[in-house]
């Protein structure tokens, strides 16, 4: 039996860990280069990598194209704002609050949207995302459309550790590593195999005794909860919370990250998020019309390497296989 | 003989087209019961209703003494009623072993386990391997189902069905699209399973049907035209007129 999981860690998992290890080198390198802004950019990369990873669980492993995933970024971000307003600044409490709110939202919206397939599923998730968006637009206590500025970053054990950009970066990176570890284990578990089965053949799954809806809904809830952690971190990074975090264009960007990196591979989700944020920074420095250039690059990747960056790398390194 | 599976007065219509028309039939425990009939006779629709994929408009289905008419596929499977598919619905990206192990997983323990690697679960892999051996596919365990020949896919399809540990297996044209050699392998396999597992076999290959079946029912326009021992069916003038005429000649 030649089975990747029994041969130890797969090439993809190694690639993902290598990526995380490389990112850990950014703060010292930024210090050497005398450009602390690099650490800030790396934090943003890691935050979006968490969000993209969470989307990969439902889109990549479950083949459920959710077009409302940014709602969970927003719910996490507003958990910070709402908690802070009520004097709760502890990061862990805020994460728990964001995850709880996201679990509830995912449970209700998933129970409805997962009864549909294809374009209908995309439209219903979009509709739920927009509902969340307009709910916070109309929430004038938190600035409505304009959003609200945070007085300070969250505290850890009562201490303002996150105010230091380097410490903050490593906290985000630790969250990213944890999210990757959890999702990697999940993908290889009984649940992960059942979820992959629902992606490949719903009818077959029923014929061998599974009810696909349950597995999809569970994945949908887990995905939303993980994404909300990215939202908590995003709010801390920008020290600002607004409904723009949950705009439908943001949901589209998360899908683009997966396309760019390679769908259903976890490592691809991370690479796609990193590349997207990097391109955004680079191209935006050249021209305000950077999206045009980004569009061309995306077009090129989709046309020449449908498996995204991971597919491209795999083709260059045939030995590594999977 | 006691009936393990019994359909009574089944009706299913799509608009004005009656696909299953007041159909009643029994499958006795231990037998291999073949259902033959011309194209469009409603054979696959019958399997769909018996397996729980499709709800009949009227009528009832009893399995093992229980009314299962309102149970869905997973619930009927739990009682021991499994099926195979005519059009292959295997998981193309999964290996043969993973395809079968997933079916074993479906009947053994919860699948809401998120941490332990499923690929390292020995009980699952051993049970799956046994099913692959049973159909002569042990040497292909590590191959993705999508990369297999048509005949291999048909064998794997049977391995997946066996992994469900059925009391009764509904086989929807297991020989469909196979060449003579592939068909020979599959017929030998079904002959081995006969007696151990009760089977309802839908098949176009008359040679296979008359070689394997204990009893044959002829389905025409959604009704059972005749039912009996293979020889009796072969001689039945009604059957010959309606269907067998050209083929059994």
The ipTM is: 0.92
Mutate to test the interface with B, among A186, A191, A208, A216 (most CBs of B within 10 A): A208
Whether residue B247 is predicted with pLDDT greater than 70 in this model: the reply is no
Q: Tell me if A98 is assigned to some domain.
A: yes
Helix (H) or strand (E) holding A111: helix A91-113
| 3-state DSSP assignment of residue B61 | strand
Answer whether A140 touches B (CB < 8 Å).
Answer: no
**Is A3 part of a structural domain of the chain?**
no
Please name which of A60, A113, A79 lies closest in space to residue A223, comparing C-alpha atoms: A60
Q: CB distance from A142 to chain B under 8 Å?
A: no
Look at residue B202 and tell me whether its pLDDT is greater than 80: yes
What are the φ/ψ torsions at residue A128 (nearest 5 degrees)?
-65, -40
Q: Give the closest-approach CA distance of B47 to chain A in angstroms.
A: 12
Enumerate long-range contacts of B115-122, CB under 8 Å, 24 or more apart.
B115/A185, B115/A186, B115/A189, B116/A189, B116/A190, B117/A5, B117/A185, B117/A188, B117/A189, B118/A188, B118/A189, B118/A190, B118/A192, B118/A193, B119/A3, B119/A4, B119/A5, B119/A6, B119/A188, B120/A5, B120/A6, B121/A190
B243 close contact with A: CB closer than 8 A: no
Q: Please report residues of B whose CB lies closer than 8 A to that of A196.
A: 91, 93-94
Nearest by Cα to A237 from A177, A174, A162, A175: A162
Parallel, antiparallel, or unpaired: how do β-strands B198-202 and B168-172 relate?
A: parallel
Give the distance from residue A193's alpha carbon to the nearest chain B alpha carbon, in angstroms: 7
Query: A115 by DSSP, 3-state: which?
Result: coil
Residue A224 placed within a domain: yes
Contact A190 B118 (CB under 8 A): yes
Q: What average pLDDT is seen over chain B?
A: 92
A219 falls within a domain: yes
Q: For residue A79, give its domain range.
A: 10-316
Q: Quick check: helix, strand or coil at residue B56?
A: coil
- CB-based contact, B53 to chain A, within 8 Å: yes
CATH code (residue A149) = 1.10.3470
Distance between CA atoms of residues A172 and A222, nearest Å: 19
Structure tokens at A107: 């449970």
Q: Which chain B residues contact residue A226 at CB under 8 A?
A: none
Domain boundaries, chain B: 3-80+166-248
Q: Given this model, what pLDDT does residue A321 score? A: 44
- Residuewise pLDDT in 10s, chain A (322 residues): 333 434 457 888 899 999 999 999 999 999 999 999 999 999 999 999 999 999 999 999 999 999 999 999 999 999 999 999 999 999 999 999 999 999 999 999 999 999 999 999 999 999 999 999 999 999 999 999 999 999 999 999 999 999 999 999 999 999 999 999 999 999 999 999 999 999 999 999 999 999 999 999 999 999 999 999 999 999 999 999 999 999 999 999 999 999 999 999 999 999 999 999 999 999 888 888 888 888 998 899 888 888 888 888 888 876 544 4
Chain B residue numbers with beta carbons less than 8 Å from the beta carbon of A2 are 142
Q: Is residue A26 part of a domain?
A: yes
Say how far apart CA B36 and CA B44 lie, in whole Å.
11
| Angstrom distances, CA of residue A268 to CA of A265, A279, B81 | 5, 16, 41
Q: What is B3-80+166-248's CATH topology? A: Rossmann fold (3.40.50)
pLDDT digits (tens, 9 = 90+) for B132-150: 999 999 999 999 999 999 9
Distance from CA of B171 to the nearest CA of A (A): 12
Domains identified in chain A, total number = 1
**B99 touches A196 (CB < 8 A):** no
Closest approach of A201 to chain B, Cα-based (Å): 6
B92 inside 8 A of chain A by CB: yes
Give the residue on A whose Cα is nearest the Cα of B77. A209
- State whether A207 and B73 contact (CB < 8 Å): yes
SS3 content of chain A, % helix, strand, coil (to 5): 80, 5, 20
DSSP, collapsed to helix, strand or coil, labels residue A226 as: helix
Q: Assess contact for A63 and A117: CB atoms under 8 A.
A: no
Residues in chain B: 249
């Amino acid at each position: 039996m030649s089975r990747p999981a029994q041969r130890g860690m797969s090439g993809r998992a190694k690639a993902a860990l290598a990526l995380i290890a490389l990112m850990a080198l950014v703060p010292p390198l930024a210090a050497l280069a005398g450009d602390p802004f690099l650490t800030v950019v790396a934090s943003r990369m890691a935050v979006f990598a968490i969000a993209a990873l969470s989307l990969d669980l439902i889109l990549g492993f479950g083949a459920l194209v959710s077009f409302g995933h940014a709602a969970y970024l927003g719910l996490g971000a507003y958990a910070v704002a709402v908690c802070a307003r009520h004097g709760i600044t502890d990061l862990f409490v805020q994460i728990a609050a964001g995850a709880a709110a996201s679990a509830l939202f995912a449970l209700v919206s998933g129970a409805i949207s997962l009864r549909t397939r294809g374009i209908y599923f995309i439209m219903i998730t979009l509709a739920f995302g927009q509902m969340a968006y307009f709910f916070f637009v109309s929430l004038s206590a938190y600035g409505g459309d304009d959003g609200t500025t945070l007085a300070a970053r969250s505290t850890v054990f009562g201490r303002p550790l996150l105010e230091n950009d380097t410490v903050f970066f490593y906290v985000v990176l630790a969250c990213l590593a944890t999210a990757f570890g959890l999702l990697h284990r999940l993908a290889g578990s009984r649940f992960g195999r059942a979820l992959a089965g629902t992606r490949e053949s719903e009818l077959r799954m029923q014929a061998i005794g599974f009810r696909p809806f349950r597995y999809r809904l569970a994945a949908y809830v887990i995905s939303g909860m993980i994404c909300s952690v990215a939202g908590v971190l995003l709010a801390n990074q920008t020290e600002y919370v607004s409904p723009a975090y949950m705009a439908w264009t943001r949901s589209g960007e998360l899908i683009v990250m997966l396309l760019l990196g390679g769908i259903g591979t976890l490592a691809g989700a991370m690479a796609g998020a990193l590349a997207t944020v990097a391109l955004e920074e680079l191209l935006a420095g050249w021209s305000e019309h950077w999206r045009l250039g980004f569009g061309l690059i995306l077009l090129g990747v989709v046309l020449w390497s449908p498996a995204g960056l991971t597919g491209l790398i795999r083709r260059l390194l045939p030995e590594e296989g999977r | 003989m006691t009936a393990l599976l019994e359909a009574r007065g089944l009706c299913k219509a799509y608009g004005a087209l009656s696909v299953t028309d007041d159909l009643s039939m029994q499958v006795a425990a231990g037998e291999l019961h073949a259902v033959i009939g011309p194209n469009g006779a409603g054979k696959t629709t019958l399997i769909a209703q018996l397996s729980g994929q499709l709800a009949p408009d009227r009528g009832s289905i009893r399995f093992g003494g229980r009314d299962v008419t309102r149970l869905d596929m997973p619930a009927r499977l739990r009682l021991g009623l499994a099926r195979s598919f005519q059009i292959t619905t295997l998981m193309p990206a999964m290996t043969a072993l993973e395809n079968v192990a997933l079916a074993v997983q479906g009947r053994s323990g919860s699948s809401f386990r998120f941490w332990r690697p499923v690929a390292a679960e020995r009980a699952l892999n051993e049970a799956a391997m046994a099913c692959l051996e049973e159909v002569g596919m042990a040497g292909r365990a590590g191959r993705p189902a999508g990369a297999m020949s048509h005949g291999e896919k048909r064998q794997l399809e049977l391995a997946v069905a066996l992994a469900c540990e059925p009391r009764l297996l509904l086989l929807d044209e297991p020989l469909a699209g196979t060449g003579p050699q592939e068909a020979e392998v599959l017929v030998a396999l079904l002959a081995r399973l006969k007696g151990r597992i009760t089977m309802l076999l839908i098949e176009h290959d008359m040679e296979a049907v008359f070689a394997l079946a204990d009893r044959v029912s002829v389905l025409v326009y959604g009704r059972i035209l005749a039912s009996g021992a293979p020889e009796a069916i072969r001689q039945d003038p009604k059957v010959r007129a309606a269907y067998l005429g050209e083929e059994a000649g």
